[in-house]
């Protein structure tokens, strides 16, 4: 829970006072005064280089009764001139995690230092306040739905209350607004993380569809779910092909949000929703296969983004399409060599049943054309190859419109959800052509460029309007930021929010 309080000379009762500090040679401003009260403990830390306000540096001090609060936690935010909301978000996350590990139940962040930092830029002050809330809230995510409550011997400690300390009443309204917005972002990212963290025996295509319906009911969003029958009617042989080996029925989930006049062409977001990817008949190795419960991360981000933009009442039109299926080996599963006919009419030779994401996306992308989109973005945990190229640090973007990609890169820099462009050349598109069908779902051995080849396959289905494919196989899980945890990151929600707001 995040609250606001007016800072009355550090008289607030909290277990731990968190003070953001800019990088400096010695304590200045507010820090200098506190240092006096602490008999020079802070200047000493500066002298022996224990702390200097460098980005992410921390110093936890016992105040020994010299302040109302028993502990003071200094958090470095780097050079004053280089402060950005994302940097503050990361600093807040570091501080919140440390406070929680130190077993504090309550903590308060002093926003005083932001006064000087944002002189003459009042908008930035509330942005930074929001970033504090966002970073802390995101960092304190825990997925313990499946832990029995009787682990009483050593229950994990939780930071339950975070207070933002403002310097004057005049900051109240804007800070409150920033917190409300941050809470919506936190909630949406956590929705995505939850969906990804739940195992495959909980999150099935039907579960995703039910989640979408519930979310739509609570927000100004309409939801339609196409089942097997409707898909057959539409000729979605590609998506149905993937689903045919599983006992779990597939679902094509369509969410519509109109925040602008309905006449405005929408942005369509398409998410890969493979609720478990065994590889199918081209079975994956056993080690680490459990992680393939995260193969619906693109759909989690799509659903959470629609939840977020509707709760924030963004003045944009956005359609979310989720192609949900389970990829299983069975007597009814597709086999290498099988040829599927997609909704677009194009035929696909399935040379590897583990390249299933592009098969479900093909039909979802064709379906997206129904909305005469302004632009299409697809999000998918499509290739292991993106991990080789970019690790857990950035998602790959590949598309047909450089301006759109640049905007996504900007959004990535602003939010820390970084994206990096990979090329898609004619040669790649040629390599996706089959000898006996229109396309094949994997290229011949030796072609390489795994991530690009995924996009090369999708391109013929994506339409002529601007389109960008985002491969999040490396970032949806294990994305390394102070505000993420070991598992699901919810990558893409903050990226798309920023992109949609700015454009
Ligand atoms: N879901 C996987 C990709 C993946 C790998 C996601 C690692 C997250 C972490 C995808 O369906 C897949 O298996 N892709 C194949 C494609 C190949 C057969 C061309 C891959 O990356 O090996
Ligand atoms: Zn696969
Ligand atoms: Zn997959």
pLDDT for 214 beyond 70:
yes
Q: How confident is the model at residue 314 (pLDDT cuts 50, 70, 90)?
A: very high
CA of 221 to the centre of ligand 3 (A): 28
Residue 354 lies in a domain: yes
CA of 78 to the centre of ligand 2 (A): 42
Per-residue pLDDT tens digits for 62-75: 999 999 999 999 99
Q: How confident is the model at residue 121 (pLDDT cuts 50, 70, 90)?
A: confident
CATH of the domain at 117: 3.40.220.10
Residue 451 lies in a domain: yes
pLDDT for 275 beyond 90:
yes
Question: Do 403 and 462 share a domain, yes or no?
Answer: yes
Question: Do 196 and 122 share a domain, yes or no?
Answer: no
The residue with tokens 């100004």 is: 220
- Residue 11 pLDDT: 64
Buried/exposed code over 328-345 (b: 16+ C-beta within 10 A; e: otherwise)? bbeeebbeeebbbbbbbe
Question: Do 478 and 345 share a domain, yes or no?
Answer: yes
Question: Do 452 and 310 share a domain, yes or no?
Answer: yes
Per-residue pLDDT tens digits for 200-210: 999 999 999 99
- Residue 444 pLDDT: 98
Q: Which residues contact 419 (CB under 8 A, 6 or more apart)?
A: 394, 395, 396, 397, 408, 409, 412, 470, 495
Question: Do 163 and 202 share a domain, yes or no?
Answer: no
Question: Do 326 and 452 share a domain, yes or no?
Answer: yes
- Residue 130 pLDDT: 97
Count of domains forming the chain: 2
Measured CA distances, 497 to 232, 305, 418, 478 (Å): 34, 7, 14, 21
Question: Do 46 and 93 share a domain, yes or no?
Answer: yes
Question: Do 207 and 162 share a domain, yes or no?
Answer: no
Mutate which of 383, 387, 396, 476 for ligand 1? The one with the most ligand atoms within 8 Å of its CB, which is 383
For residue 265, give the H/E element and its range.
Answer: none
The mean of the pLDDT values for the chain is 96
Question: Do 118 and 207 share a domain, yes or no?
Answer: no
Q: Is 418 a catalytic residue?
A: no
Instruction: Over range 229-236, report the average pLDDT.
Output: 98
Residue 176 lies in a domain: no
Q: What is the pTM of this model?
A: 0.97
CA of 386 to the centre of ligand 3 (A): 13
Domain final position from 137, 167, 197: 167
Residue 26 lies in a domain: yes
Q: How confident is the model at residue 10 (pLDDT cuts 50, 70, 90)?
A: low
442 lines ligand 1 (CB under 6 A): yes
pLDDT for 391 beyond 70:
yes
Q: How confident is the model at residue 6 (pLDDT cuts 50, 70, 90)?
A: confident
Q: Please name the residue whose Cα sits nearest to atom 18 of ligand 1.
A: 355
Helices (H), 312-458: 357-368, 385-390, 402-415, 426-431, 450-458
Question: Do 194 and 106 share a domain, yes or no?
Answer: no
Domain hosting residue 97, numbered range: 2-146+158-167
- Residue 269 pLDDT: 99
Domain final position from 167, 202, 225: 167
Of 105-109, 155-159, 291-295, 329-333, the poorest mean pLDDT is in 155-159
Residue 380 lies in a domain: yes
pLDDT for 148 beyond 70:
yes
- Residue 120 pLDDT: 85
CATH of the domain at 490: 3.40.630.10
Question: Do 126 and 210 share a domain, yes or no?
Answer: no
- Residue 448 pLDDT: 98
- Which ligand number lies closest to the CA of residue 473? 1
Domain final position from 167, 198, 224: 167
Residue 173 lies in a domain: no
Residue 424 lies in a domain: yes
- Residue 150 pLDDT: 65
- Residue 155 pLDDT: 81
Residue 241 lies in a domain: yes
- Which ligand number lies closest to the CA of residue 280? 2
Question: Do 136 and 261 share a domain, yes or no?
Answer: no
Q: Is 358 a catalytic residue?
A: yes
Q: Please, are residues 108 and 163 in contact by the beta-carbon 8 Å criterion? A: yes
- Residue 4 pLDDT: 82
């Amino acid at each position: 829970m995040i609250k606001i309080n007016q800072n009355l000379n550090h008289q607030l009762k909290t277990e731990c006072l968190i003070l953001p500090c800019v990088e400096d040679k010695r304590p200045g401003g507010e820090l200098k005064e506190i240092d006096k009260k602490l008999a020079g403990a802070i200047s000493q830390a500066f002298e022996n280089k224990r702390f200097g306000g460098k980005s992410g540096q921390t110093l936890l001090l016992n105040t020994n009764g010299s302040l109302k609060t028993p502990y003071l936690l200094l958090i470095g935010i780097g050079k004053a001139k280089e402060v950005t909301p994302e940097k503050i978000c990361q600093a807040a996350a570091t501080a919140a995690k440390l406070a929680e590990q130190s077993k504090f139940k309550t903590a308060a962040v002093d926003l005083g230092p932001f006064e000087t930092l944002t002189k003459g830029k009042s908008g930035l002050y509330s942005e930074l306040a929001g970033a504090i809330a966002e970073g802390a809230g995101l960092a304190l995510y825990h997925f313990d739905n499946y832990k029995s409550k009787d682990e009483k011997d050593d229950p994990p400690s939780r930071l339950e209350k975070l207070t933002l300390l403002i310097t004057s009443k005049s900051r109240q309204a804007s800070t409150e607004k920033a917190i409300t917005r941050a809470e919506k972002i936190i909630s949406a990212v956590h929705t995505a993380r939850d969906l990804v963290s739940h195992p495959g025996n909980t999150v099935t295509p039907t579960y995703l569809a039910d989640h979408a319906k519930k979310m739509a009911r609570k927000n100004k969003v309409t939801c339609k779910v196409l089942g097997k029958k409707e898909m057959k009617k539409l000729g979605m042989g590609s998506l149905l092909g993937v689903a045919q080996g599983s006992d779990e029925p597939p679902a094509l989930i369509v969410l519509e949000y109109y925040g602008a006049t309905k006449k405005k062409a929408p942005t369509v977001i398409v998410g890969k929703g493979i609720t478990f990817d065994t590889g199918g008949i081209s079975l994956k190795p056993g080690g680490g296969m459990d992680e393939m419960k995260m193969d619906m991360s693109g759909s989690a981000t799509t659903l959470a983004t629609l939840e977020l933009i509707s709760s924030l009442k963004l003045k944009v039109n956005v359609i979310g399409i989720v192609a949900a299926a389970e990829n299983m080996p069975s007597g009814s599963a597709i086999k290498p060599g099988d040829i599927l006919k997609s909704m677009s009419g194009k035929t696909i030779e399935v040379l590897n049943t583990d390249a299933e994401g592009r098969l479900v996306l093909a039909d979802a992308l064709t379906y997206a054309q129904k909305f005469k989109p302004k632009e299409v973005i697809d999000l998918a945990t499509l290739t292991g190859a993106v991990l080789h190229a970019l690790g857990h640090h950035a998602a790959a973007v590949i598309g047909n419109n450089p301006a759109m990609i640049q905007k996504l890169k900007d959004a990535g820099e602003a939010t820390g959800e970084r994206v990096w462009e990979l090329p898609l050349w004619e040669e790649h598109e040629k390599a996706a052509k089959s000898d006996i069908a229109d396309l094949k779902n994997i290229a011949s051995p030796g072609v390489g460029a795994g991530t690009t080849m995924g996009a090369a396959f999708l391109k013929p289905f994506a339409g002529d309007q601007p389109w960008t494919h985002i491969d999040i196989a490396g970032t949806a899980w294990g994305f390394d930021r102070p505000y993420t945890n070991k598992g699901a990151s919810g990558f893409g929600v903050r990226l798309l929010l920023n992109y949609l707001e700015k454009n």
